[in-house]
Amino acid sequence: MIDNADLQLARRKTRDRSVALLVLGIVLLMPPMVRIAQIDTTVFGLPFALVYLFAAWGLLVIGAALLARPLRDSEKPIASATSDDTTG
């Protein structure tokens, strides 16, 4: 059986990961980072800056999708330790 403290720790870790994803997105899409990606090269005929922006955006969407279910599940109330199941 999962302990109440373990469940709260898992919830906190999930929220921390979502904040880290937000900060990563802000850093990746800041104008200085995008300006660094503006080098004179192409990837499959597309400018590298365009590939960088769409790759960063895609990774952020995938990260948000992976965090969506744990975040939704973390909003469920914690069952109390003195539920009727434990009294026999």
Burial class (CB in 10 A: 0-12, 13-18, 19+), 14: middle
Residue-wise pLDDT for 5-51, tens only, equals 887 888 888 888 999 999 999 999 898 887 888 888 888 999 988 89
0.85 surpassed by pTM: no
Ranges of H-type helices in the chain: 4-28, 31-36, 48-74
